[in-house]
Amino acid sequence: MLARLKHRVLATAATAALIGGVLAVEAPSTAGAAVPDTIPLTLKNDSGRSDPVYVYTLGTSLTTGQQGWADASGTFHAWPAGGVPPVPAPDASIPGPAAGQSKTIRIPKLSGRIYFSYGRKLDFRLATGGLVQPAVQNPSDPNRDTLFNWSEYTLNGDGLWLNSTQMDMFSAPYAVGVQRSDGTTVSTGHLKSGGYRAVFDALRAQPGGWGGLIQTRSDGTVLRALSPGHGLETGALPASVLDDYINRVWQKYAASTLTVTPFADQPGKKFYGRVSGGVMNFTDGTGAVVTSFSKPDADSVLGCHKLLDAPNDAVRGPISRTLCAGFNRSTLLTNPDQPDTSTAGFYRDAVTNHYARIIHDRMADGKAYAFAFDDVGHQESLVHDGAPQQAYLTLDPLN
């Protein structure tokens, strides 16, 4: 099955939609020109690694709703039926460029992922419900010892959304880019010089088990750092890792009001949160209770789910994603007006999402998708255009 892709935020109250978990906001006027069925994606290998690269374009067809894969020409192929236990998927790999080289493929109108791996092909399986994505927090996952990563994208009639993501793990670095309809190119996802190793060094130095997120191969090769949500699953982080901060937030707003203004284009639309009986109730301008939240645990905060579930609606979802961002960035105690978009105040509490803090600090432009609603306040590593001419994915050095 497709993994939970949770970077989703209603940028405006009106024109936003989720396609396979990837945000697709109604595009600006540049989408007037029809988006073709496929667009070119240039893969550039600046990794400096000598081992072969394998590339995969996987996702859900926005034309038929089928899950499948695309070949180098952008032709979509639906997956065959799966089984119990899951059966091997057809080989969907595309040979990637050698070190120092580039290769252009085409990507079709999908909502899905562009995977790349070094040295060996990825092992994909098909269950009765569809594709089984790699889950390397599971020690028995067949891809556990493979160095790989992925980008997420949606290409539809309104344009292209392409991101670099660290939501599930931080691993082989890469950047994404798009050539816009006016001929200009924008990119994001590059680390600072030395940033890749610096992330792992900082995690190891952070007290409280954060270094336990790092996975290595038996030969000593560092493969990745799991996201803290997966760190809870594996026991690398204690379940109480955020309890102190969560408790202080609940105490504060039992005696004061948290104001949430979730829509940038509707500054007058506000919701007001107060804790009563252990529950944070949100009211609208009329004083009516519109939604309520039980005190979340660390898993709910780090995953932005469960007790902080965020449906794709106009009330609970926008409030929940604002709370999620405030908890992960530890801004809820210092600013009762949320969302807080001033990065100077992010991650200042001793109890915070140190994984997200460390990654953002090492990104060249400060942008990342280190947790599900990292796009609150536009901190996400995302490129978009309504009439894209060309997409890019650059494999960066592991140093």
The whole-angstrom separation of Cα 269 and Cα 373 is: 20
Amino acid 287 reads G
The whole-angstrom separation of Cα 179 and Cα 372 is: 26
Indicate which residue of 71, 141, 158, 168 is catalytic.
Answer: 168
Asked if residue 350 lies in contact with residue 141, where contact means CB atoms within 8 angstroms, the answer is: no
Amino acid 381 reads S
Asked if residue 322 lies in contact with residue 262, where contact means CB atoms within 8 angstroms, the answer is: yes
Helices (H), the chain: 195-205, 228-234, 243-255, 298-303, 316-329, 354-362
The whole-angstrom separation of Cα 269 and Cα 259 is: 10
Helices (H), 256-382: 298-303, 316-329, 354-362
What secondary structure does DSSP assign to 65-82, as a single string? --EEEE-TT--EEE----
Amino acid 248 reads R
Q: Has 380 been annotated as catalytic?
A: no
The whole-angstrom separation of Cα 58 and Cα 153 is: 10
Indicate which residue of 46, 152, 340, 385 is catalytic.
Answer: 152
Two structure tokens written together for 60: 């859900």
Q: Has 168 been annotated as catalytic?
A: yes
SS3 125: strand
Q: Which of 125, 138, 139 is nearest to 85 (CA)?
A: 125
b/e per residue 363-386 (b: at least 16 CB within 10 A)? beeebbbbbbbbbbbebbbbbbbb
Positive/negative CA dihedral, 325, 329, 335, 339: negative
Catalytic positions are 152, 168
